[in-house]
Amino acid sequence: MKLKNKLACLLLLAANTLSAQSQETNTNLSLVNPMKLWYNQPAKIWEEALPIGNGHVGAMIFGNPGNEHLQLNQTEFWAGSPYINANPTGGKEALRKIQQLISDDKYQEAQDMAAKNFVALTAHGMPYQPVGDLYLKFKGHENFTGFKRELDIEHAIATTTYTSNGITYTREQFASLADNAIVIRLTADKPGKLSFTASLKTEQKGTVVGKGTHQLVLSATGPEVNGIPGLVKVEAIVDIKHDGGTVALQEKTLAIKNATAVTIYLTMATNFKNYHDLSADPVSIAADLLAKAEKKNYQKEKKEHTDIFQHYFNRVNLNLGTSSSIQLPTDQRIKAFAAGTDPQLVSLYFQFGRYLLISCSQPNGQPANLQGMWNEHVKPPWGSKYTTNINLEMNYWPAEVANLSEMTAPLVKMVKELSVSGQSSAKIMYGARGWVLHHNTDLWRITGAVDGPWGVWPTGGAWICQHMWEKYLFGGDKKFLADIYPAMKGAAEFFLDVLYKDPATGWWIVSPSASPENAHQGFSTSAGTTMDNQLVFSLFNNTIRAAQILNADKEFVNQIKEKLTGLAPMQIGQYSQLQEWLKDWDDPKDKHRHISHLWGLFPGNQISPYRKPALFEAAKNSLIYRGDVSTGWSMGWKVNCWARLLDGNHAYKLIADQLTAVESNKEGGGTYPNLFDAHPPFQIDGNFGCTSGIAEMLLQSQDGAVHLLPALPEKWTDGEVTGLKARGGFTIDMTWKNSKLTRLVIHSGLGGNCRIRSYEQLIMTTDNTLVKEATGDNPNTFYEVADIKEPIISPKANLLYPAPKKIFEFDIATQAGKELVFQF
C-alpha cells in the first residue's frame, strides 16, 4: 500500500489529457524523422528495387523513367500441387535402430540410416514462384533530370518523379489493402503529354493476351518439381483507365497516347483454395477483384489503402535521435552508417520491418516466407519457402512486441493446418500420435524431413507453438487460446510418444535429431540437443498452463508433468559455455550461424540474469565464442540475444554489423540498398529479427516483469518510443533524456498487476521506498515464468558469477482500458 501511495505522487497526468499529448509528440516525430527510403537513381538490380504488398499481391518497383519494371508476385502461386512427403520407409523399427546406434556413439551409421529412412523421397519442398513482370515503356524518357524515387513507409506508397523534355512525370504505386489490387497512377504536369506502352511477361508456362481495347491478361501454371505436378493456375489482369488521350491494343501491348493521367489496375488470383484444394476459379476472382477496385476513383482507393495501413503502422513511434544524415539518400546512409552519426537509420530500419510485416502478412493470406512475398526467381534460394528451424519463426518475432498482432493471422492458420497435415508424418515416420513438423514446410504444408540428415529434426512444431502461447501472453485472449489449444496439445502428444530414455543418463530426450544445421564431429545426427530440450520443456510447460487456464485435460496434464520432470537439464561445459549438445562437444572456435542452444535465452525465456545466473553467464560465453559477424539473420538473432544479455552496446554493435552495405550476393551478410537483409542472398528474416532486437533493447517482458530500457546503448542517450507491447496486455510509451527515463505511460489492456523493472540509475528518483529487490515471481499469471532445472556444470568450467546490474521493481495495480502516466 505504501509503495502505491508513493507512486501515486508521481502520477502527473490524468488519462484523458493523454491523447492530446501523444498526438503532439507524433506530429513532431514525423517532422524530424521522415519515414522514407529514397534514391537519386533508378534501381539497376532487384535488391535496389522497392517492395509494395498487401499480403496477397506484391511488386518490386525499379523506377526506371524509360522502362518502368514491376516484378510481380501473388502469394498462392507456388510450384507443385497437394502432396505429403513423409518417407514411407521410416517407421518404428527404423527409429529404434537409429536411436540405438546413436546411444552406441555410432553416428555415421545412424546418420546414413536417418538419411535413407527419414528424409523425403521428393528431396526438397516446392518453391514459391514469380508470376511475371509488367513493363511500361516511355519513348524518349531515357534522358531525364530531377530524378527521385522513394518508398514512403508511413503511407505505404512508392513514388517516382523526374523531368523529361520539360515535362515533370510522377508515378505513384501501391498494393491496396482496401481492395486486393496493385494500383499505379501516372501523371504528367502538362496536359496530353503521357504516352507509353504496357506489356506483361512471364517465365512460367502460359500466355499473355490482349482483351478488348484496354486490358492484358496473363494466364500461367506453376511448374512441376521433383515429380510433383505443377497445378496452380494464376490469372493476372492489367486494366488501363486514362484521362485524355487514347488507348489501343497492338498485339500483346497496350499503347497509351497523349493522356494527361493514367491509372493502371492490376489484379492477380489463383485456383488455390487451401493446401489440399485447387478448385477456385482464378479467372472470375481476378475479374471480380478488378471490378471492385475500379468502382472507386484513384484518390478514394489511395485514401482507403493508407487508412488501413496506418491503422497498424501508426501504433508505434520510435525516435532515437535526429541528424543531418536524413538529407542523404538511403543507399548512401547505409554505406555511412558505420561512422555512427545516423541514429535515424536505426528507427527507419525498425519501421521498415514493421512496414514489411504489414505488407506481406495479412489475414487470409499466406505467412511471410523466406523472402516475405517478394521473389523474382523460378528457382529461388531455398525455394523461398518456410524454413522452420529459425527463419519462419524469426519473421514473426516483431509481431507482438512491435504491436502488429493481427499480422500473425496467417501463421496461426498455418499452425492449425500443420497440426492436421503433420499427423501423417507423425504416424508414418514415428508411429506416434499427435503431429510433427521438421525443418521445412511449403504451400502444401509438408511436414516430413527434407534436404539431408540435418532435416531429421522433429521439433519444428514445438517452436511454432511457442508463438501461439506468446500470442496469448501478449493479448490474453482466452478464445484464441481455446482455438489453438488442440494444436498445442497435438504437438505435446507427439513428444509424449517419441521421447526416448537416454540409457546413459536416464533423461527423456528427442532422438534422432540435430542442433539446427550444425554438426558435432562432422555429423548432423545426434540426440538430446540443448535446443530440443528447451523446446520440449517450453511446449510441455505452455501446454500445461494452457490446459489449466482452459480447465481441460487433467489426465493429459499429469502425463506431460511426469515426462517434464525427466527432461534433460541444460548443461555448462568445459569452456564455461552453455553446451550445444548432450555431450560436451562444443568447439569454442565454432562460428556457426545458428545459435540454437541459445533458444532458451531468445526467443525462449529459460535464461535470465535473476534466476540461475550460471546459465546466463554460460549463454553469454557461448555467444562470445560464436562471434558477431555472420549471415544476415544470424546477426538479427544476436541483436536479440545481446539485448536479453542486457548489453545494449553489444546489441548496437550487431545492428551496425547488420547495417553493413552489401551490393552483390558475393559479399557477406548485411543490408542491400533497398534495406532488404542480405543473408546473402536476400532473406527477409534478418529484417524481422533485427526489428525485434531493437524492440528488445527498449522493452522486455519475458522474465516476470516489464523491464524498461533493459539494453539501452550509450549511443541512444535521448529518445522516445510509443506503443510497444508487453506481455500481460500492456502497451508502453517511454521518453528518456541523458540516458534516464523521464516519462512512462502504461496503457493497460487487461488490468491486473503490472510489475515494472528497471535499473536504478535509469529512473531519476531518490525515493528508496520504490526500490524492491527482484524476486522473479509475479502475481500476474500472464507472464509467470517456468521453473528451470538446476544446470549440470562441468568440473572444468570456470564461472565468475559477475553481479548483475542492480535493478528495482515495483508493482502497479492497473485497470483494463486505463492509462497511467508517470513523469520522473
Task: Give the binding site for ligand FUC (CB under 6 A).
Answer: 370, 382, 387, 391, 517, 593, 631, 633, 679, 683
Query: Measured from the CB of residue 383, what is the shortest distance to ligand FUC in angstroms?
Result: 9
Place of cell 506508397: 157
Query: Measured from the CB of residue 387, what is the shortest distance to ligand FUC in angstroms?
Result: 4
CA pair distance 305, 172, nearest whole angstrom: 13
Across 189-223, where does the E strand assignment appear? Answer: 194-201, 205-211, 215-221
DSSP letters, 793-819, are E-TT-----PPPPPEEEEEEEE-TT-E
Between 560 and 662, whose beta carbon lies closer to ligand FUC? 662
Between 79 and 746, whose beta carbon lies closer to ligand FUC? 79
C-beta of residue 156 within 8 angstroms of C-beta of residue 303? no
Question: Residue 169 forms beta bridges with which residues?
Answer: 162, 188
Query: Measured from the CB of residue 627, what is the shortest distance to ligand FUC in angstroms?
Result: 16
CA pair distance 203, 432, nearest whole angstrom: 43
Half-sphere exposure of 289 (CA within 13 A, CB side): 28
Quote the cell numbers at residue 67: 522502362
End-to-end Cα separation, the chain, in angstroms: 20
Query: Measured from the CB of residue 521, what is the shortest distance to ligand FUC in angstroms?
Result: 19
Between 394 and 706, whose beta carbon lies closer to ligand FUC? 394
C-beta of residue 713 within 8 angstroms of C-beta of residue 702? no
CA pair distance 529, 672, nearest whole angstrom: 35
CA pair distance 762, 717, nearest whole angstrom: 11
C-beta of residue 524 within 8 angstroms of C-beta of residue 594? no
* Tally: H helices and E strands in the chain: 19, 33
Place of cell 555431450: 583
Residue closest to 487 by CA, chosen among 436, 443, 560, 541: 436
Between 490 and 693, whose beta carbon lies closer to ligand FUC? 693
Between 405 and 660, whose beta carbon lies closer to ligand FUC? 660
Query: Measured from the CB of residue 543, what is the shortest distance to ligand FUC in angstroms?
Result: 27
Between 195 and 389, whose beta carbon lies closer to ligand FUC? 389
Quote the cell numbers at residue 460: 519444428
Between 593 and 644, whose beta carbon lies closer to ligand FUC? 593
DSSP letters, 737-762, are ETTEEEEEEEEESS-EEEEEEEEGGG
Query: Measured from the CB of residue 498, what is the shortest distance to ligand FUC in angstroms?
Result: 23
Look up residue 401 and give its DSSP letter.
H
Is the preceding peptide bond at 512 cis, omega within 30 degrees of 0? yes
Query: Measured from the CB of residue 371, what is the shortest distance to ligand FUC in angstroms?
Result: 10
Query: Measured from the CB of residue 418, what is the shortest distance to ligand FUC in angstroms?
Result: 18
Between 502 and 517, whose beta carbon lies closer to ligand FUC? 517
Between 455 and 723, whose beta carbon lies closer to ligand FUC? 455
How long is the chain?
824
CA distances from 575 to 570, 615, 625 (A): 15, 13, 10
Between 204 and 630, whose beta carbon lies closer to ligand FUC? 630
Query: Measured from the CB of residue 592, what is the shortest distance to ligand FUC in angstroms?
Result: 9
Contacts of 689 (CB under 8 A, 6+ apart): 394, 397, 633, 635, 636, 637, 639, 640
Query: Measured from the CB of residue 454, what is the shortest distance to ligand FUC in angstroms?
Result: 8
Between 541 and 683, whose beta carbon lies closer to ligand FUC? 683
CA pair distance 354, 373, nearest whole angstrom: 14
Query: Measured from the CB of residue 634, what is the shortest distance to ligand FUC in angstroms?
Result: 8
